[in-house]
Chains A and B, each alone.
Chain A
């Protein structure tokens, strides 16, 4: 069993409202006040990068806390843990001293190949044991609790033996890891698989939730897809309100990775969380698209111009 005290957020701070650090906003952030309480970085975008991205990260980190959010830990893969990646992750953490390090309950590849996607876990007793062992190893290497996010999923396996909230709850309680509750991902997966989103959030061990993600999905007809390219819709704000009440308030971050708005508009969107705390719910609908769905867009660096 966990030796982590039964305190809110595992004793980690409530950082307030934050946004993702994205290359589109670098020039703005160097010139203007940051406005938000904290930033989240995609860890892989800064590992082994000592150029302009790192310069901006150092500028931001000197002013506010930063959280490292990864997409490559592949905690659920049956391949061995990538020790090279973990060493790089730890090196970056030693350099920028993040408030915490997070990744996803997923796997990204197997037999050495990498799909660069966040693929769903079989939710079985055996796979839970497998992930539990690996979370322990990662926490030992990073020397801090790992924080794991619920992913958006588009398939469920027939051999699943438990709900995702049950898997995450047992994982958190057994390993002492933290949870990054992505309320948009709950909304997306609940729609796609037909489960009750509020029940999912209500059942999680709330004192393990150290962070919440907000984002806007896209409605592709049958399926909702986690596109991170829209304002946060009404339904996601409702789930956020529930999670805010159940957790007593935790660090909240808006993800926006494609069709990224200008920085002031991005900040205005995450600040809507304050309205939600006071019971005022934004009425934004889910954006529909007739294009083919694409899972998990990645934030790529903007092309550079030669002088």
Chain B
């Protein structure tokens, strides 16, 4: 360990990461280190330390705002630039990056939104929706990032099999939820609003209503699929059950439907789900 180098790095790191404008940062650091920045940084060519440090401090915030704006474009449109930037600044202040990867910064941002969301019980359902929506949008956009990067189904050929093959013929076949699929249970129907926000179209706030959705990557393109409750629970069950009938039984119990009726629905839907890359078939 090199003490002198470490002190210099802590000094500059604190100037960059500390909250406030450059004057506030420098005041805080001068007090802590008992040194003026002109005693640390050379002011060659008549350019003072202040101007030089400003390149680093302004760059830090601008760069990470740009990064999170790219990761959460729909949330930014929903909140507006000013409110979005305030959330980003607060995230950087209270939860600065500790990862080498900017990809992890998006998770920091989502966690910050989760941890700071209002938890009041004295509001109308409409007010509740308004407060919950930003977090729901952020979760979907983070899922999009994860699905975009996950090992996908692109190199797995689409199986030429029927629902009967999947359900009755071969006990060795397994239905698996790929890493390139994320499923959600939401407290409102979100897809219509997301698409309209993305396309800069007027939108209405969704009504409070339980809904289900999947973010899917197929052939390197991203899709949002609205799901029925039983489809959501069946896809979720495939994460825990390798056996088709166990997953179906688990789903029937969750949605409180007779198993036979659910199997009839699955008969029709399974081939579609496989074609949409919501499920992959292993053991072929």
Contact = CB atoms under 8 A, between A and B. Distances in A.
B210 interface: no
Kindly name the residue among B49, B51, B64 whose own CB sees the greatest number of chain A CB atoms within 10 A.
Answer: B51
A278 interface: no
A306 B66 contact: no
B52 A155 contact: yes
A192 B45 contact: yes
Interface string A283-307: 0000000001111111011111111
A193 to B, nearest CB: 5
B132 to A, nearest CB: 21
Interface in B145-180: 147-152, 154, 180
A223 B9 contact: no
Contacts of A193: 42, 44-45
Given A50-B150, A113-B98, A156-B41, A296 B8 contact: no
Contact of A116 (B4, B97, B148, B224): B97
Contacts of A55: 154, 220
Interface string A148-185: 00000011111110000000000000000000000000
A117 interface: yes
Given A110-B10, A157-B42, A44 B98 contact: no
Interface string B40-71: 11101101010111111011101110110010
B222 interface: yes
B217 interface: yes
Given A44-B102, A78-B5, A122-B8, A111 B13 contact: yes
Nearest to A46: B149
Interface string A37-79: 0000000100111111101000000000000000010101110
B269 interface: no
Contact of A304 (B2, B16, B51, B144): B144
A82 interface: yes
A51 B220 contact: yes
Interface residues of B, number: 63
A50 to B, nearest CB: 4
A130 B5 contact: yes
B195 interface: yes
Contacts of A117: 16, 56, 59-60, 63
A139 interface: no
Nearest to A113: B96
Given A51-B217, A78-B6, A122-B4, A306 B97 contact: no
A23 B41 CA distance: 38
Kindly name the residue among A157, A160, A306 whose own CB sees the greatest number of chain B CB atoms within 10 A.
Answer: A306
A303 B74 CA distance: 10
A64 to B, nearest CB: 21
Contacts of A307: 221-224
Given A126-B5, A193-B42, A223-B52, A49 B149 contact: yes
A223 B50 CA distance: 12
A298 B101 contact: no
Contacts of B224: 306-307
A280 interface: no
B45 A194 contact: yes
**Cβ-closest 8 pairs across A and B:** A295-B59, A72-B100, A78-B6, A110-B9, A52-B220, A300-B70, A50-B151, A154-B55
Given A157-B40, A306-B224, 20 more contacts: A48-B103, A48-B149, A52-B220, A108-B100, A110-B9, A111-B10, A112-B98, A121-B5, A127-B5, A154-B55, A156-B41, A156-B44, A157-B42, A158-B39, A194-B45, A223-B47, A295-B56, A298-B66, A298-B67, A301-B70
13 contacts: A51-B150, A115-B56, A124-B4, A127-B5, A130-B2, A159-B4, A159-B8, A292-B58, A295-B59, A296-B63, A300-B102, A305-B198, A307-B222
